[in-house]
Amino acid sequence: MIQRLRANHALSWVAVGLAAAALLAACFLAAFELRLEALTGAGDTARGYDYVRTIGIALDSRAGRLVAAAALALVVLAVAGSVVGSRPWLVVAAFAISAALVLGAIDTADRLDWPGDAGTIGYESPHGGPLLQPALDDLKADARSSPEARSPTWQLSGEDAYAARGLFGWRLAIWSAVVLAWLTGYRVARLRFRPWASIWIVTGGTFGVLLWLFVRALGELE
């Protein structure tokens, strides 16, 4: 019985390690496509310009490098958990990191919008957040140093307007973060409860988060 419990603990930590490794890999893949637009002239002489850049999570911002560091820390914690067992401090640390990653992913998802093949979304202030804004600032600087920007009529479609969408690296990262939160949440519940009770607790927590996101989305539509 004891050997089976130890095997189950080790297996769950292996799953955490694999999900964390997937997140770490996602940090170095193409994760987002950004677009700015500018115009020169007016009326029949108006001409539009697109400025597009593909970025990775850990390659273009300090916050992205923190995400990669968090993923690496989870790999280390998973290895430690599979070796020494589910010590409370280790379980809580893994869950805290995973929960922070999910919250960061939700925040970033709110900053993504891609209006078809053309167009950008205008904002009253910088809206890219810690992951996107540094790359947006760099892309804006590149646009302003382009040859067409020498025209006195050249202007961005909006000082803080942009379009952004997630690519494969982003989808891998966000799903890895969700899996990590679920697995480490289960391990936290197992500190006090039996396996099936822990599964129901984590399932209820997942439903609560989804309900919160739904209510939040409805509030943004008003």
- 20-24, 87-91, 203-207 — most confident range: 20-24
- Please, which pLDDT band fits residue 210 given cuts at 50, 70 and 90? confident
Predicted TM-score (pTM) of the model is: 0.89
Whole-angstrom CA distances from 35 to 39, 88, 167 are 14, 45, 13
Compute φ and ψ for 194, nearest 5 degrees.
-75, 165
User: Would you say residue 218 has pLDDT above 70?
Assistant: no
Write down the pLDDT at residue 217.
63
* H or E element, residue 48: strand 47-56
- What DSSP line would sit under 170-216, residue for residue? HHHHHHHHHHHHHHHHHHHHHTTS-HHHHHHHHHHHHHHHHHHHHHH
Within 13 Å and on the Cβ side, how many CA atoms surround 78? 22
